[in-house]
Structures are given as C-alpha cells and as structure tokens.
Amino acid sequence: MINKKVIVLAGGCSPERNVSLASGKAVYLALKSLGHEVVAVDPSLGEGGVIDIGNMEIENRYPSEEELASLDSGKIIDCINSDAFDDVDLVFNVLHGKWGEDGHVGSLLQMRGIAQTGSGARASSVAMDKIMTKYLLSSGGVNTPEWANAGKEQFEDLDFIKDIRSDLGNKLVIKPYDQGSALGMTIIEGSNLDDISSALKIAGKYTDIVLIEKYIEGRELTVAVIGGESYPIVEIIPHQGFYDYTNKYTKGMTEYICPADIDEHLGGFIKDQALTAHHLLGCEGFSRADFRLDEDNAVYCLEVNTIPGFTEFSLLPMSAKAGGLEFDGLCQKIIELATK
C-alpha cells in the first residue's frame, strides 16, 4: 500500500455540520491508523481551516440558527484555493448537505485538478436534488413513490393542498427537496389540511421547493454500493416514530438488521435496483440507496446518497462490514477507487 497525503473535508455550513464532523473524525482516525499523512479541514473556516478533529468532542445535535448564521459559505472558496491543497494527493470529502454534498465543493476541487473520493460534482448535484433524482430513477425503470412538489406560494393554498391529498392520499411524507438527515421532514398521518400546510412551512424553512410523497407503509431498507458492487441490505427499525435525526444518531434508538431477513431472490432484486440507481445518477466510487418495501413486496427507491455518513451509527460502514469490509478497509478501498 502506498501512503497518501490526504485532506479530510468535514464540518461545513449546512445543518448537518455536526454529523459531518463526526464522520470526518472517524475517517481521519482510520486513515491515520493506516499510515496516511492526514489533515482535517473545515472549509467553513476559510483559508485557515485546519482543525484538530482527532481530539474534538462533537455534540450530537443540530447546530443552532445562530451558529449557522455565523458561518460564511463564501469562505469555502478561499479554503479550497489555499496553499493547504497544493501538494495533496486527494481529498476525502465527508461534507454532508448543502455546500458539500451537493457538488459545490466538488466543482472547486475539479477546477483545481484535485482527486476526490466518491462522485464528481454533476452526480452529487443531481443526487442532492430529490426531484431530479425521481425523474432519472423513473426514466431508468427504478420504482419510486408517487410525488408532487410545492413552492412557497402554495404552502397555504388550500385548494392546492386538497388536490395533493386527493392524488397522493392522507398519509404523506413532506420534506425539503435538497437536504439530508431527515431535516425538515414531517410524516402526515391524517387528512387535516392545516397539518399539511404546517408541514410544508417546516420544510420551507430549509428550501424554496418542497417535495410531497405518498407514504409507503412497510419496511425501511438501505443498500450500499461500493466499487460497482452492492453490499448486504440493512433493515432500519426505529423504536418509536420515524427514522429522524434523533433516531439516526442516538445510540439505542434504532434497531439495525444486517443482512436484512429478506428472500434471496427479492434481496438480489433490491441490490440490483441500488446498483441501477447508482449508475443512472452517474455516481462513482460509492453511494447508498434508500428503499421502502411494502406488504406486497413492491420496492420503492426513495433517494440516493453520494456522501452517506461515516459515523459509528452509519449505514454504509455497517453494510460494508457485513460484506467483509471493516471500517479501515472501507476507507482504504474508497481511496484506491478515487486514485485509480
């Protein structure tokens, strides 16, 4: 193994900042243990963005509005353009959410000619856009829940909301079209128009366009794709509520079954769907596709993540481990895929 000079990008300006820092810390420590020369950089800090991530205590919460307001996305350009990136072999990008996972940082790295892990700017941008993802999945034969979208001018339009309820049913998933970690997501279980309007406004705090999906009753599954291969399926069973930020990142709040107890033929089909989704969106290196499986064993792809979590609770490392790839080996494989 040839050791590399690696920058781990973590933190950033999105509400997923703390999750990104936790992912970055795990990756940083793994790469150090493998003998790579590693520096962690938080691009939201600008030119002097090097951080001692190995000794950081990272809080398991959303950053406050005040904390997010204090971060300047413009400093990301200064950071990527700084001397710290001059001699680097590659960047291991674990920036979740806006300004990181959405292709912005990827574009800056591509313009500097710096190798990066995972997908390039175009695929990252497409996958972050849940509406565009749905169009591409449907065009390639990957089933996805029925959906509609709403702009801010429609959040209180009761006639529009009635039409949505008539088309998609009383149980709905309402969420921003370009966020992760269940930010701003609400599950509506009744037909109350005011509840739907309120959910639209909650999602609208994060984005100008809101995605409205028909809720699919059934099992929640996810599949990792690494190096052109689908890994074992993970089933996600929250102890209460849905798989929101708290259930994702609080130990003991969710049960994970990996490999999921699914018929071999059906499981093979779901893994093939994950691989098809990966290719339809133009992903590279690795991705993670999320699914629902209804009581009739119909499979619905919800979204594709180009920079999934790398924390101790994260699903891609869990799937990789079940497939025989421990965390250190996973990080090394991702580096090798990025530098081919």
pLDDT at res. 242: 62
From the list 177, 245, 249, 300, the catalytic residue is 249
The distance between the two most distant Cα atoms of the chain, rounded to a whole number of Å, is 62
290 is catalytic: yes
Q: Is 66 designated active site?
A: no
219 is a catalytic site residue: no
Residue type, 121: A
CATH superfamily of the domain spanning 128-143+218-338: ATP-grasp fold, B domain (3.30.470.20)
Q: Among 220, 309, 314, 319, which one carries the catalytic annotation?
A: 309
HSE-up of residue 136 (Cα within 13 Å, Cβ side): 22
Quote helix, strand, coil % in the chain, to nearest 5: 40, 20, 40
Tokens of 154: 């429609």
Per-domain residue ranges of the chain: 5-116, 128-143+218-338, 147-214
Looking at residue 234, what is its pLDDT?
Answer: 97
Q: Are 163 and 185 in contact (CB under 8 A)?
A: no
165 is catalytic: no
Q: What is the pLDDT of residue 240?
A: 65
* Cα(168)–Cα(146) distance, integer angstroms: 7
What does the pLDDT read at residue 64? 81
Residue 309 annotated in active site: yes
Q: What is the pLDDT of residue 67?
A: 87
Active site residue 288: yes
pLDDT number for residue 68? 83
Catalytic residue among 23, 230, 247, 305: 305
From the candidates 18, 181, 230, 319, give the one annotated as an active-site residue. Answer: 181
The catalytic position among 288, 292, 300, 314 is 288
Answer yes or no: 255 catalytic. no
Q: Which of 11, 12, 14, 16 is catalytic?
A: 16
What separation in angstroms does the CA of 89 have from each of 20, 85, 290, 335? 21, 9, 32, 10
Task: For residue 4, give Cα distances in angstroms to 33, 67, 88.
Answer: 13, 34, 8
Distance CA 27, CA 96 (A): 14
Question: Is CATH 3.40.50.2300 what the domain over 5-116 is classified as, yes or no?
Answer: no
**Cα separation of 49 and 331, whole Å?**
22
**Helix 121-128 and helix 130-139: axis angle, to 10°?**
100
pLDDT in tens, the chain (340 residues): 688 999 999 999 988 899 999 999 999 999 999 999 999 999 999 998 999 999 999 987 878 888 888 888 889 999 999 999 999 999 999 999 888 889 899 999 999 999 999 998 999 999 999 999 999 999 999 999 999 999 999 999 999 999 999 999 999 999 998 876 577 889 998 878 999 999 999 999 888 899 999 999 999 999 999 999 999 999 999 876 666 556 555 666 789 999 999 999 999 999 999 999 999 999 999 999 999 999 999 999 999 999 999 987 799 999 999 999 999 999 999 999 998 7
| CATH number 3.30.428.10 given to 147-214 | no
pTM value is 0.91
